[in-house]
Amino acid sequence: MKLLVALLFGLAFSVCANAQVPLGTAANFGVLAGSAVTNTGPSVVTGDLGVSPGTAVSGFPPGTVTGSIDIADTTANQAQNDLTTAYLNAQGRPPGTVVAGDIGGQTLTPGTYTSASTLGITGNLTLNGAGVYIFQIASGLTTASASQVILTGGATADNVFWQVGSSATLGTGSIFNGNILAQASITVTTGATLNGRALARTGAVTLDTNGVASPGGPGVPGSPAPSSLILVAIGLACAALYLGRERLLQGLRRI
């Protein structure tokens, strides 16, 4: 019986740790910045583009946006609030497998990966398998020119989250998959492609002849993403299990 209880607790906390990060209304955005969005060349942003609390947006045209452009309005403000919630959610997950330095050339499976410093990608990084990938990066993220994040085995960009403690830079001509949740700024250099979202809390998002595609499509404005509702339910279940742990164990000791 005690073994069963331990297994149930382990399963509950494993599910909590590997649940999708809830983006809320930030899921609507291909690009979201805190201070400014700047662009050079014919970049294409699939999804909305926004900035808040800053008000500077430049380079559109020649860049194009398939959704709306929201500048320090109610929509952008709410998206930034939801981004903060998502960032703290990813940052607050239990630490996962330790990664360091350059993780190019590796193949990783779903789970949480934790870097105590900066993280780099040179060459190809393969994410293999359906599930949620969360990268907790204490400092910056930098990808090399022509590097690639490759998805195989059912992995999808919508389920990959890069929580970056400072700023992220995607190298020239690189191909990147996943949602970048950066504390400061995001720079997408010339010709880089982002299949995901560039979401910066306080700094700027800088584009230069890029394709940025929000992988999951627009969410529902003003409502939490379905994943956040699932996460809340799981969190409540985990809390109930945790609070009842001692009572269950005390009962077992009397048997």
CA 234 – CA 113 distance, rounded (Å)? 21
Return the DSSP state at 218: -
Q: Mean pLDDT highest for which of 2-6, 30-34, 221-225?
A: 30-34
Q: Model confidence at 7, in pLDDT bands (50, 70, 90)?
A: very low
CB 37 within 8 A of CB 205: yes
Contact, 196 vs 179, CB < 8 A? yes
CA diameter of the chain = 74
Cis, bond preceding 61 (omega within 30 deg of 0): yes
> What percent of the chain stands above pLDDT 90?
76
Q: Tokens 């919508």 belong to which residue?
A: 158
pLDDT, position 34: 98
Percent of the chain with pLDDT over 70: 78
pLDDT at position 51, please? Answer: 98
Please compute the mean of the pLDDT values over residues 11-33 and round it to a whole number: 80
CB 166 within 8 A of CB 139: yes
Amino acid at 212: V
- What is the tens place of the pLDDT at every residue in 68-120? 999 999 999 999 999 999 999 999 999 999 999 999 999 999 999 999 999 99
d(CA 78, CA 29): 12
Query: Domain extents for the chain?
Result: 1-22+224-255, 23-219
The three state secondary structure string of 116-183 is: CCCEEECCEEEEECCCCEEEEECCCEEECCCCEEEEECCCCHHHEEEEECCCEEECCCCEEEEEEEEC
CA 254/CA 95 separation, integer angstroms:
35
Contact 75, 25 (CB under 8 A): yes
Closest CA to 56 of 234, 238, 203, 215: 203
The whole-number pLDDT of residue 223 equals 31
* Least-confidence region, from 16-25, 36-45, 203-212: 16-25
How does pLDDT run across 203-249, given as a tens digit for each residue?
999 999 999 998 864 333 333 333 333 343 444 344 343 334 445 43
Q: Are strands 141-143 and 205-208 parallel, antiparallel or unpaired?
A: unpaired
- 8 Å CB contact between 31 and 46: no
* DSSP 8-state secondary structure symbol assigned to residue 20: P
pTM of the model: 0.81
Under a CB-based contact definition with an 8 Å cutoff, are residues 30 and 213 in contact?
Answer: yes
pLDDT digit string (tens) for 119-131?
999 999 999 999 9
pLDDT for residue 30 is more than 80: yes
